[in-house]
């Protein structure tokens, strides 16, 4: 799990306490002070074991502590959905689109294949999203639909069941 938190005393403890509270076992913590995020925060990677069904509780407790879950290891992302996006993807900042999904902490874009026929022509992308639960997959797809409305993109969904 990759976390992002404020660069302030006590923040690492605030991130670790919820893991214990849900019965998790911390295997390793990777914390490098020189690796700062764009908003003067810190990235921390944690390897942990959780009892089944406790991930959602952990994510909620981390959010309450002001800790952002940036990424969850692939072994936890059990549900997958592939969609097609069509429109001016590069001009509307494809990285912003991906970031909005990844910031949920329980869903992320795991594959992105982009075709750009010409600078002023619409492009298309095959995007694969993986999530921790079906509910989180639905949430990620809702986010993608909202982004598509804002950026005037067409979404074709799904190519396979989530």
| Secondary structure, 3-state, 21-65 | HCCCEEEEEEEEEEEECCCCEEEEEEEEECCCCCHHHHHHHHHHC
Query: Is the CB of residue 69 less than 8 Å from the CB of residue 125?
Result: no
- pLDDT by 10s per residue, the chain, length 162: 888 888 888 888 888 999 999 999 887 787 766 544 455 677 888 878 888 888 889 999 998 888 888 878 655 566 889 999 999 998 889 999 999 998 887 788 989 999 998 888 999 999 999 887 788 899 999 999 999 999 999 999 875 554
19: which residues sit within 8 A by CB, 6+ positions away? 26, 46, 48, 50, 58
pLDDT for res 159: 57
In what helix (H) or strand (E) does residue 12 lie, and over which residues does it extend? Answer: helix 11-21
Both tokens of 116, joined, read 């750009």
Residue identified by tokens 């981390």 is 62
| Stated pTM of the model | 0.54
DSSP one-letter code for 14: H
pLDDT for res 69: 86
Query: Residue 9: helix, strand or coil by DSSP?
Result: coil
pLDDT for res 6: 83
The DSSP code sequence of 71-127 is: E--GGG--EEEEEEEEE-TTTT-HHHHHHHHHTTSSEEEEEEEEE-SSTTS-EEEEE
pLDDT for res 34: 56
Backbone CA torsion sign across 144, 146, 147, 152 = positive
Sort 113 into a burial class: Cβ within 10 Å, 0-12 / 13-18 / 19+: exposed
pLDDT for res 162: 46
Torsion of CA 43, 49, 53, 57, to 10 degrees: -40
Torsion of CA 61, 63, 68, 74, to 10 degrees: 50
pLDDT for res 36: 47
pLDDT for res 40: 65
Domains contained in the chain, CATH given: 2-71 (3.30.70.260), 79-156 (3.30.70.260)
């Amino acid at each position: 799990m990759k976390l992002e938190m404020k660069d302030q005393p006590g923040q690492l403890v605030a991130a670790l306490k919820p893991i214990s509270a849900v019965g998790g076992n911390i295997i390793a913590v990777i914390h490098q002070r020189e690796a700062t995020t764009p908003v003067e925060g810190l990235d921390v990677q944690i390897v942990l074991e959780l009892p089944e069904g406790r991930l959602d509780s952990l994510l909620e407790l981390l959010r309450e502590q002001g800790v952002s879950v940036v990424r969850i290891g692939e072994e936890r992302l059990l549900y997958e959905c592939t969609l097609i996006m069509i429109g001016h993807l590069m001009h509307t900042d494809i990285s912003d689109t991906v970031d909005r999904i990844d910031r949920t902490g329980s869903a992320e874009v795991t594959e992105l294949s982009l075709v750009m026929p010409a600078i002023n022509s619409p492009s298309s992308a095959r995007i694969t999203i993986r999530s921790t639960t079906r509910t989180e997959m639905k949430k990620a797809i809702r986010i993608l639909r909202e982004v598509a409305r804002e950026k005037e993109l067409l979404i074709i969904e799904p190519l396979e069941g989530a």
